[in-house]
Amino acid sequence: MSVSAIHDDHHDHGPAKGLMRWVTTTNHKDIGTLYMVTSLIMFMVGGAMALVIRAELFEPGMQFVDPMFYNSMTTLHALIMVFGAVMPAFAGLANWMIPMMIGSPDMALPRLNNWSFWLLPFAVLMLMSTLFMEGGAAAAGWTLYPPLVLQTGAAFPFTIFTIHILGVSSILAAINIIVTILNMRAPGMTLMKMPLFVWTWLITAFLLIAIMPVFAGAVTMLLTDKFFGTSFFNAAGGGDPVLYQHLFWFFGHPEVYVLILPSFGIVSQIIPTFSRKRLFGYSSMVYATASIGFLSFIVWGHHQYTVGMPIEGELYFTYATMLIAVPTGVKVFNWISTMWRGAITFESPMLWAIAFVVLFTLGGFTGLMMSISPADLQYHDTYFIVAHFHYVLVSGAVFAIIGGVYYWLPKWTGRMYDERLAQLHFWLTTLSVNLCFFPQHFLGLAGMPRRIPDYALQFAEFNAWSSVGGFIFGFSQLIFCYIVIRCMRRQGEHASDEVWEGAGEHGLEFTLPSPAPYHTWETPPNVH
């Protein structure tokens, strides 16, 4: 399938009319939009599930839901946020931005692109339909550990198939991104000139093609254990449930980096623009990202300190995990050095980026604490780790995505968003995210286990605060939806082509008109 053949199909005309445009589209901007909209919807759905959890935990005792449903909520909340919200948001940003940033007219494999998107809504719908099946949705946590997960009722095979489809979808997206980046760069756009967002996605895509198949294999083994009498994880037949944990975390740890590397990329685009300086230490950023990608494959055991590991294993995984903090630290120092003595202005994208740097680092610190295996015996499976991964995922990954949306929304829609509302959104979100998750550190240290619908009385006060924070956070996102919808409906001030003062020097995308035309870079730009 050659690019020119596809391209000639719709030479010189804009999008098709009507609904079919979205079903049949192979345009990277359309597909980017589809991904982003799906992601926003799933973010709200996953968020509603989180509010069910926080409502139940507002007070000790059982209030609203029964324990089984509660556990289904934690399971589906996590699966939806990871696979339905954060990963599609990154895929959407990749679709929109990578071709515009490297001077390519489209993605390399546009039809595949259509497929990789359209698998997604079916997968998440199937996942949500499991809530209504006999026996309820999967309730064993997003890690789907056997033997517990094998007790899932009718929902079990559907949950597994959902994972398969989501896996295929993200593998296809990753393939497309790799081919695009390797083959479609404008003349002069050497690898070491690529914007960091492109670099981080390239490495993320390699992680994805390496880990998603392993995860697909692991859940397939769950399926055959349940229905076809194999004993991969069944001790009675000579298997071992701990094997599943190894397979899962071989996938799972690189997966958490899939959820953060593109965020590093977004932040590395935003900070230089609003500091009016070049990114400090570009090449060290690239090497740091690559080393994080590599190291993420050899540290999975830090999720299993408590399942019984010989002392050598505990030591190895402790030191290897701590090693990741080194390249991560390099990145944080580079962002700070970029801001150093810059002529900084604090428009919304920059606020989100700065909050990202501060709060993500906080989550990194708790990660370091947990990497120490003897200390992790206390933290494991408590609210401490819940606080850890929400700092890195919400105030990390999600903050970067929201910052990226504010940064590029005027380019996509041609309209400036309402800056005053956006600032309100930022401050409400940042304060409430801390109110929600900071107290959870102390709950965890005091011994409150994760994944429970009820708790001892001494945890009541901090849980109440956490729930208040959670609800403010959730409802603040309605402001975000409103802001985005306004821009999408072409309301608000017109944005200039450059959008942000001097942005044209920081990325090819800001040398294009606003809104970006349906076809861009049909003649490749000259990159010097």
Q: What residues are annotated to the active site?
A: 77, 106, 142, 169-170, 253, 255, 257, 268, 302-303, 328, 331, 450
Considering only residues 140 through 199, tell me which ones interact with ligand HEM, judged by CB under 6 A.
143
Report the candidate in 11, 207, 18, 202 with the shortest Cα–Cα distance to residue 101: 202
Please identify, among the stretches 43-51, 123-131, 246-254, 260-268, the one whose residues bind Cu ion according to the rule CB under 5 A.
246-254
Collect all residues with Cβ–Cβ distance below 8 Å to 517 and sequence separation of at least 6: none
Rounded to whole angstroms, how far apart are CA atoms 483 and 417? 6
Per the CB < 8 A criterion, the answer to whether 28 and 113 are in contact is: yes
CB of 116 to another protein, least distance (A): 13
CB of 381 to Cu ion, least distance (A): 14
Report the candidate in 189, 145, 137 with the shortest Cα–Cα distance to residue 162: 137
Per the CB < 8 A criterion, the answer to whether 275 and 342 are in contact is: yes
Contact code string over 237-256 relative to ligand HEM, x by CB under 6 A: -------------------x
Looking at 28, 226, 253, 415, which residue binds Cu ion (CB under 5 A)? Answer: 253
323 binds ligand HEM (CB under 6 A): no
Considering only residues 156 through 195, tell me which ones interact with another protein, judged by CB under 8 A.
171, 175, 178-179, 182-184, 186-187
CB of 235 to another protein, least distance (A): 5
Rounded to whole angstroms, how far apart are CA atoms 439 and 464? 10
Considering only residues 352 through 381, tell me which ones interact with ligand HEM, judged by CB under 6 A.
364, 367-368, 370-371, 376, 379-380
Report the candidate in 176, 70, 64 with the shortest Cα–Cα distance to residue 115: 176
Looking at 20, 283, 308, 341, which residue binds another protein (CB under 8 A)? Answer: 308
CB-nearer residue toward another protein: 212 or 350: 212
CB of 372 to ligand HEM, least distance (A): 8
Per the CB < 8 A criterion, the answer to whether 492 and 415 are in contact is: yes
Collect all residues with Cβ–Cβ distance below 8 Å to 163 and sequence separation of at least 6: 215, 216, 219
Q: Does residue 449 sit in helix, strand or coil?
A: strand
Rounded to whole angstroms, how far apart are CA atoms 46 and 127? 12
Task: From the list Cu ion, another protein, ligand HEM, none, pick the one residue 32 interacts with, judged by a Cβ distance below 5 to 8 Å according to partner type.
Answer: none
Task: From the list ligand HEM, Cu ion, another protein, none, pick the one residue 260 interacts with, judged by a Cβ distance below 5 to 8 Å according to partner type.
Answer: ligand HEM
Please identify, among the stretches 67-75, 172-180, 323-331, 351-359, the one whose residues bind ligand HEM according to the rule CB under 6 A.
323-331
378 binds another protein (CB under 8 A): no
Rounded to whole angstroms, how far apart are CA atoms 320 and 315? 8
CB-nearer residue toward another protein: 209 or 445: 209
415, β-bridge pairs: 494
Rounded to whole angstroms, how far apart are CA atoms 245 and 317? 15
Give the relative orientation of helices 460-488 and 399-413 as an angle to the nearest 10 degrees.
10
CB-nearer residue toward ligand HEM: 244 or 500: 244
Burial of 84 (0-12, 13-18, 19+ CB in 10 A): buried
Token pair for residue 136? 């309820």
CB of 244 to ligand HEM, least distance (A): 14
444 binds ligand HEM (CB under 6 A): no
338 binds ligand HEM (CB under 6 A): no
Considering only residues 284 through 313, tell me which ones interact with ligand HEM, judged by CB under 6 A.
302-303
Token pair for residue 296? 């993420």
Rounded to whole angstroms, how far apart are CA atoms 265 and 285? 9
Contact code string over 311-330 relative to another protein, x by CB under 8 A: --x-----------------
Binding site for ligand HEM (CB under 6 A): 143, 256, 259-260, 302-303, 321, 324-325, 328, 364, 367-368, 370-371, 376, 379-380, 385, 388-389, 392-393, 396-397
